[in-house]
A and B are shown apart, each in its own frame.
Chain A
Amino acid sequence: MNADLALQLGIQGLLTGGIYGLIGLGLSLIFGVMGVINFAHGQMIVMGMYVSFWILTLFGIDPYLSLMVVAAVIFALGYLVQSTIVNRIIDYPEAMQVVPLVSLGLILENMALLFWGPDHRSPETALGLDAIRVGSATIDVSRLMAFGLAILFTLCIFLFLKKSNLGKSIRAAADNRTGAILVGIKVNRINNISFALGAATTGAAGALLLPLMPVTPHLGHDFTLIAFVVVILGGMGNLLGALFGGLILGLAESLSALWLPATMKHLVSFGILVVIMLFKPHGLFGGKR
C-alpha cells in the first residue's frame, strides 16, 4: 500500500467529512425539533449554491463573503416553507409527510432549471484553486475553509440551542410539544424558526460547496441521500452527532478508494448505514426516536 496515497486520502476524507457533517446538520436539526424528514433538503442546498452563484456573477462577491446573505435568503425560504406547508402536515402520519416535501424538492429543482438554465456552472472563485502542500500531501484550501466553517457553524448552533432563550424554547418544544404549549411557548413560531434555521445551515453549506463543484439543478438528490446517511450515523436530531457522522462517512468513503473503485464508494456508506441501523438504531451518538 502506498503510504503517501493513504495520507492524502485520509486528509481529503477528513475535510470532505466536515462538509458532509454540514450537509447533514440542517436535516438533523429539523428532524430533532419537528420529527419531519425534509425530503427537499438537497434541493435547498442547491438553492444556496445558486444564490451564492448569483451574488458572485452579478456583484463579484466571493461565496465566503456572501455566506451570511445566502444563509439569510435560505432562512427566509425555510420560514416560508414551514409556515405554508410543513406546519400543516406536522401531525400527519409519516408516509403522508413524504409527498409534500418530495414535491417541494421537485418544484425547487425545476425552478432552478427555469431561472438558471440546465448548464453546469462553476465560475472561478478567489480561493477555488489554492492548495497548501505539506510534504507530499496536498491540502485543498476551499475544502479546508468549508471544513473549518462547518465545525464553527455546528458549534454556534449547538451553543445557541443550549444557552439562548429562544434556543431553550426550541428544545422545550422538541422534547414535549404539549408541555411547551402549556407553558406559553408559541410552538408554531418556534417551528417556523427552527425549520428556517435548519434551512439557513443548508444555504450556508451551499455557499461553501460552490467553489468545490459545478452547480446544476439536478444536484440535490445526492445531497439528500448523503444527509440521510450522515444523520443516521450520528443519531437523528443530534447535532454534534451529525458532525461526527459526517467525519466517519467522509473518511470511510475516501479511504475505500485504496481498495475499491470509485463506483463502489456509496456501497461503503450504505453498508455502514445498514449495520449501524441494526446495531445502534439511534445512531452512534444517540438521537431522537
Chain B
Amino acid sequence: MMDRKDQNVKGMNRRTFIKVSGAAGLGLSLTSFGVPTLLRAEPAPIKIGSVQPATGPLAMIGQGQRRGNLLAAEYINSMGGIKSMDGAKLKLLLGDSESKPEVGRQEADRLIKEGAVMLTGPFQSGVAMAIATLCEQRQVPFVMDVAALDAITRKGYKYTFRVFITAKGLVGGAVKYLKMVTKEKKVMPKRAVVTNTADAFGKGMSGGFIKFLGKSGLPIEIVERIQYPLGIHDLSAEVARIKAAKPDIIFPVSRPGDSVILTRELYKQRVELMGIFCPGSPGWYEPEVIKDLGDLILYVLINVPWINPSSPVYKQANKAFLKAYGKYLDTNSAYAYTGVLVLADALERAGSTKPEALLKALHKTYYKDPPVLGGPVQFNERGDNIGAMTGLIQVQPDPDPLKRVKIVAPKEFAQSDKIVFPAPQLWERG
C-alpha cells in the first residue's frame, strides 16, 4: 500500500508545484510586460511531441525520460513561454512507443497529426530509426534526447538531431578517464573482462570500447568478453566464467537490472578485482540501484554524459524532479529535459513553427549552460551535438544515499577530489 500512497502524495505535490510555478511565471510576466498577462489574448499553445517507451521492457527509463520532458516544458512555461511568439506556452503531447518500433512510428504520426511541430524521444535506437524516417517523410524536425547509436545520424536525414553524445564521444571519454585514473593512482590493471547486454546498444558500445582501448596504448588485455541477453535473470554461470578468467578489472556495459545481479554475484563468488569501471551505460547511477545495492555499489567508476550540478538550470530541474518524484534527476532524465530546452530555444529564435524556420534555427543552436556536462549544445552537419561530453563519476560513501554519486573528473565539475582505486574488495566493506 505504501508505494501507492507515496505516489499519491507525490502526485499532489507535483500538482501544487505546477500551481506554484505557474503563479511564479505569472508574476514574472507581469513585471516584464508591464501589463497583466491575463488581459492579453492568450496565444495558442505550441505543441511538441514526446514519444518514449513508457510501457514494456524499457518502461523504467522511458518514464524517467517522459518526466524529464514534462518538467522541462513546465519550466519553460513558468518562465513565460516562448517570448518571441507572444509568450505562447508549450504543450507537450505524450506518446508511448510500448518499446516497439511500429508503435513508436504510429504514435509519432499521431502526435504530428495532433499538431506537434517538433518531436523528441525515444531512447531506443530502433524506435528512433522508425521515427527518424517518418519525420523525414513528414518533414517534421526530430530532436532525439537520448539514442546512443550513431547509425541513425549517419543516414543523412535532414530533420534529425541528437542532443545525446555520439557513441564515439562516449567511448573516447571512457578511455581518456581510464588513462587518467591509472596514471594518477599509479596502478595498472593487466587483465580485463568486458561484459555487455546482447542488444544494439550493448554490442556497439562494448565493441567500440574494445577497439579504442586497443589503440590507446594502455597495456590492458581483454581476457574474456561475455555477452548475455537483455533482461537476463541469472548471471551465476557467467560470473563463474569471469572468475576463471582471473581479471583485475571489469568493464560492464549493462542495463538497470543486470548490473544488480552482476554485482551481487561477484560478491557471492568472491571475485577479486581492483574495481569495476563502466565505460558508459545505465545500471550504476539510478537511485533504486544505489539504494538496493547498498555498500556493494560503492567505488564503481562510471564514464557517463552526466548532469552538470553547478548549472542553475540543473539545480532548478533537480529540485522540481525531487519534489515530484522523490528521486534525483539522473542522466537520462536530464538529457530528456535538455531535449525540450533545445526545442524551446529553437522556437524562440525561429519565432515561427514552420519546419524550414525551425530547421534553420536548430542548425544555429548555441544553447549555453545546459543541465548536463559539457559545452553549449551545438549541432554539426549530421545533427550530432558537438558540445556533449562525459564525466567520470564514482559512487562514494555518503550518509544520504541520494548524494552518493559524485563527479570526480573533469576537475572543474568535480564534487569529490579523491578517486578510490583500486577499491576494497566487495566483501571487505563495512
Contact = CB atoms under 8 A, between A and B. Distances in A.
Question: Do A and B come into direct contact in the complex, CB within 8 Å?
Answer: yes
Contact of A58 (B2, B232, B286): B2
Contacts of A2: 244
A142 B292 CA distance: 17
Contacts of A122: 260, 292
A145 B229 CA distance: 26
A217 interface: yes
Nearest to B6: A117
Interface string A51-87: 0001001100000000000000000000000000000
Interface stretch (B41-49, B54-62, B175-183, B416-424): B54-62
A4 B240 CA distance: 9
Interface string B51-88: 00001110110110000000000000000000000000
A129 B427 CA distance: 10
A57 B288 CA distance: 13
B368 interface: no
A145 to B, nearest CB: 13
B240 A261 contact: no
Interface in B296-325: none
Q: Is the interface of B mostly helix, strand, loop or mixed?
A: helix
Q: Is the interface of A mostly helix, strand, loop or mixed?
A: helix
Contact of B198 (A13, A123, A263): A263
Contact of B237 (A57, A128, A254, A263): A254
A222 B60 CA distance: 18
Contacts of A133: 270
A216 B292 CA distance: 14
Nearest to A266: B229
Interface residues of A, number: 48
Interface string B198-235: 10000000000000000000000000001111011110
A189 to B, nearest CB: 32
A9 B240 contact: yes
A189 B250 CA distance: 55
B3 A213 contact: no
Contacts of A58: 1-2
B238 interface: yes
A16 B238 CA distance: 14
B288 A119 contact: yes
A131 B60 CA distance: 30
